[in-house]
Amino acid sequence: MMLYIKFSLLFFVIHFVCYIIAGVIDLRLAKKIYKGKDRLYKGFFRDMGKKEEELRVAKLLLPSQFVRAIVMSMVLYPVLPFLTTLSFWQQFLFMGSLMFVYTDFSCAVPFSNTIEGLVYLKKEFVERKIFWIIQLESIMYSVLFGLLSALLLF
């Protein structure tokens, strides 16, 4: 039981660090997508340019990512013994690919960097530049997550 609790807590730390690093870098590249009066997602994203919205998001960021990471880690419990038998590079590839494929590119939520988004969203949300800016965040997160997981989780 302690093995699973430790795994989940460490999974959360790794997830949160990768989430913040990739998000901060992406936000620098994509300010016009997320912030300001003319931002692309103004119809459904909170305006991070407004102090009260930024404070709300900051207040909910840690608890929401904690729940997200714990749920993601619990799905791996049945295969955890198998994952410990893999080499560093296999662990890196498995965890990084898992995060990229399941939490981003192939998830069922239509967004600017997902397969569902390419199918269902209006053209302005999936223009090549928008797709790659957001995909960059997913790739950075997945590579960092795979690397830190292989180094620290197993």
User: Angle at which helices 51-75 and 2-29 pack, to 10 degrees?
Assistant: 140
pLDDT at position 35 over 80:
no
106: its two tokens: 């192939």
Q: What integer pLDDT is reported at residue 128 of this predicted model?
A: 92
Q: Please report which confidence band the pLDDT of residue 43 belongs to, taking 50, 70 and 90 as the band edges.
A: confident
Q: Please report which confidence band the pLDDT of residue 75 belongs to, taking 50, 70 and 90 as the band edges.
A: very high
Residue 136 and residue 112: Cα distance in Å, rounded? Answer: 12
Q: Whole-prediction pTM value?
A: 0.91
pLDDT at position 76 over 90:
yes
Question: Range of 89's domain?
Answer: 2-152
SS3 106: coil
pLDDT at position 22 over 90:
yes
pLDDT at position 7 over 80:
yes
Average pLDDT over residues 111-122: 95
Residue 144 and residue 132: Cα distance in Å, rounded? Answer: 18
Count how many domains the chain has: 1
Q: What integer pLDDT is reported at residue 29 of this predicted model?
A: 83
Q: Are 55 and 46 in contact (CB under 8 A)?
A: no
